[in-house]
């Protein structure tokens, strides 16, 4: 056999061996390893939604920070109030929704703003409209989840609340404590030190330590970063440690582009220098953005669904069960036949009458809600 023929024969033999190995591999390959790719394609096609609430007194740069985080202008039509209007203003709930797309991934971002919070002289229960709004979103989701058209449920639940703390105090104010305690069972609270460029690094460290101590002292439950899995790479573990050590984040926001060392950066220009928003030596803006968008957005949504919403749902079911039991007991009591009394029956005491009326009213409201839900199902 000629050398050329021997080479051809060897190539054919090796080709047959490779094809044989490939066939054996395909026989052992089921295909469920492609499931992550399927989920990824479906998720990207559907898109994502995220609802972020911002709260804190006026003038702490809430709107500027939100625009800086998402590189968009959500407050184009905002009207700036003068001092007199701001004093008389009550707490409002304003929603701004914008669709953002990055590298083919779509995000429906909803910002819930709370203008008027903490601006009054008497701030007693100024957080009530905010807690009511969060409960309303839970209630709407509970109704939609109990309906027939569960496939197209719109999730408007608040996934995270950025609470802005003034840098000019010496820690948490009473209204800060009361607000966070009123909301910490309903939403993921991420406290922020606003306008960090007003403080020097040593002052920021002291203020952070003071706020952490007061959060522990008053039993406030802020958002807890999940523990890293053992198989995570060292870079991610280091990033997670830095996030935990930096909380509460000291942030600066700016939509102005300035020139620093021959580069154009977003920051603030002062007579003594430039404060760069994305310079980690100047503030924690980059850490907040990474946490909120790149690493923990999905966990914030999971905690909202699995913890806060489930607590609300369990309370609703318990309340409905109790009301049903009370209604059943009242119905059974009314069915008891008794002989005609010679003497007039004693009138029930006032407290019992009030209790029965309250229960009847609650049952009536629940029945109306169920009827509306049934009507919506029929219309659909």
Please state whether beta strands 189-193 and 160-165 pair in parallel, antiparallel, or not at all (unpaired).
Answer: parallel
Q: How far apart are CA 23 and CA 15, in angstroms?
A: 12
Assigned token pair, 161: 């609340």
Q: Are 4 and 12 in contact (CB under 8 A)?
A: no
pLDDT at res. 340: 45
Instruction: Give the dihedral sign, CA 268/269/270/276.
Output: positive
Q: Are 267 and 276 in contact (CB under 8 A)?
A: yes
Q: Are 196 and 283 in contact (CB under 8 A)?
A: yes
pLDDT at res. 213: 94
pLDDT at res. 355: 63
Which of 146, 186, 212 lies closest to 51, judged by CA?
186
Q: Which domains, from first to last, does the chain contain?
A: 42-72+89-318 (3.40.50.300)
In the numeric block, the tokens 């760069």 are attached to 276
pTM of the entire structure?
0.73
Per-residue pLDDT of the chain (380 residues; tens, 9 = 90+): 545 555 545 555 555 555 555 555 555 666 767 777 777 677 777 778 899 999 988 888 888 888 888 877 776 666 655 555 555 455 678 888 888 888 888 888 899 988 877 666 567 778 888 999 999 999 999 988 887 777 778 889 999 999 999 998 888 999 899 999 999 999 999 999 999 888 888 999 999 999 999 999 999 999 998 887 777 778 778 888 888 888 899 999 888 888 877 788 888 888 888 888 888 888 899 999 989 988 889 999 999 999 999 999 988 888 878 777 777 776 666 655 444 444 444 444 455 566 667 767 777 777 777 677 767 666 65
Q: How far apart are CA 15 and CA 18, in angstroms?
A: 5
pLDDT at res. 134: 94
Number of Cβ atoms within 10 Å of the Cβ of 75:
17
Q: How far apart are CA 59 and CA 57, in angstroms?
A: 7
Asked if the peptide bond before residue 128 counts as cis, ω within 30 degrees of 0, the response is: no
3-state secondary structure 295-319: HCHHHHHHHHHHHHHHHHHHHHHHH
pLDDT at res. 15: 56
Q: How far apart are CA 102 and CA 293, in angstroms?
A: 12
pLDDT at res. 343: 42
Q: Are 48 and 40 in contact (CB under 8 A)?
A: no
pLDDT at res. 346: 46
pLDDT at res. 209: 94
Number of Cβ atoms within 10 Å of the Cβ of 140:
15
Helix residue ranges per DSSP H, the chain:
3-28, 35-46, 62-70, 83-88, 128-146, 174-183, 201-217, 234-246, 285-289, 297-303, 310-335, 350-379
Q: Are 115 and 92 in contact (CB under 8 A)?
A: yes
pLDDT at res. 226: 85
Number of Cβ atoms within 10 Å of the Cβ of 285:
25
pLDDT at res. 150: 74
Q: Which residues of 34-67 are buried (b: 16+ CB within 10 A; e: fewer)?
A: eeeeeeeeeeeeeeebbbbbbbbbeebbbbbbbb
Q: How far apart are CA 207 and CA 204, in angstroms?
A: 5
């Amino acid at each position: 056999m000629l050398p050329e023929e021997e080479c051809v024969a060897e190539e054919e033999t090796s080709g047959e061996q490779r094809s044989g190995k490939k066939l054996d591999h395909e026989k052992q390959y089921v295909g469920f390893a492609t499931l992550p790719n399927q989920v990824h394609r479906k998720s990207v096609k559907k898109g994502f939604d995220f609802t972020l609430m911002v709260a804190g007194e006026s003038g702490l740069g809430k709107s500027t920070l939100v625009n800086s985080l998402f590189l968009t202008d959500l407050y184009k039509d905002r009207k700036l109030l003068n001092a007199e209007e701001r004093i008389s203003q009550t707490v409002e709930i304003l929603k701004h929704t914008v669709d953002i797309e990055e590298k083919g991934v779509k995000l429906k971002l909803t910002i819930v703003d709370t203008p008027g919070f903490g601006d009054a002289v008497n701030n007693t229960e100024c957080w009530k409209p905010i807690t009511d709004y969060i409960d309303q979103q839970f209630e709407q989701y509970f109704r939609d989840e109990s309906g027939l058209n569960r496939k197209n449920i719109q999730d408007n639940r608040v996934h995270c609340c950025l609470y802005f703390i003034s840098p000019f105090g010496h820690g948490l104010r009473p209204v800060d404590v009361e607000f966070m305690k009123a909301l910490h069972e309903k939403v993921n609270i991420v406290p922020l030190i606003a306008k960090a460029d007003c403080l020097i690094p040593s002052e920021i460290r002291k203020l952070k330590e003071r706020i952490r101590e007061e959060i522990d002292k008053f039993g406030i439950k802020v958002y807890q970063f999940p523990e890293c899995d053992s198989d995570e790479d060292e870079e991610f573990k280091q990033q997670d440690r830095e996030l935990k050590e930096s909380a509460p984040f000291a942030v600066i926001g700016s939509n102005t582009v300035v020139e620093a060392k021959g580069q154009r950066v977003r920051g603030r220009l002062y007579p003594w220098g430039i404060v760069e928003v994305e310079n980690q030596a100047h503030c924690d803006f980059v850490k907040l953005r990474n946490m909120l968008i790149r690493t923990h957005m999905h966990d914030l949504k999971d905690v909202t669904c699995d913890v806060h919403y489930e607590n609300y749902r369990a309370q609703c079911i318990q309340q409905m069960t109790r009301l049903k039991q009370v209604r059943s007991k009242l119905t059974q009591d009314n069915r008891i036949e008794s002989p005609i009394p010679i003497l007039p029956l004693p009138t029930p005491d006032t407290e019992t009458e009030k209790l029965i009326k309250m229960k009847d009213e609650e049952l009536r409201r629940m029945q109306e809600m169920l009827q509306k839900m049934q009507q919506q199902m029929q219309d659909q």
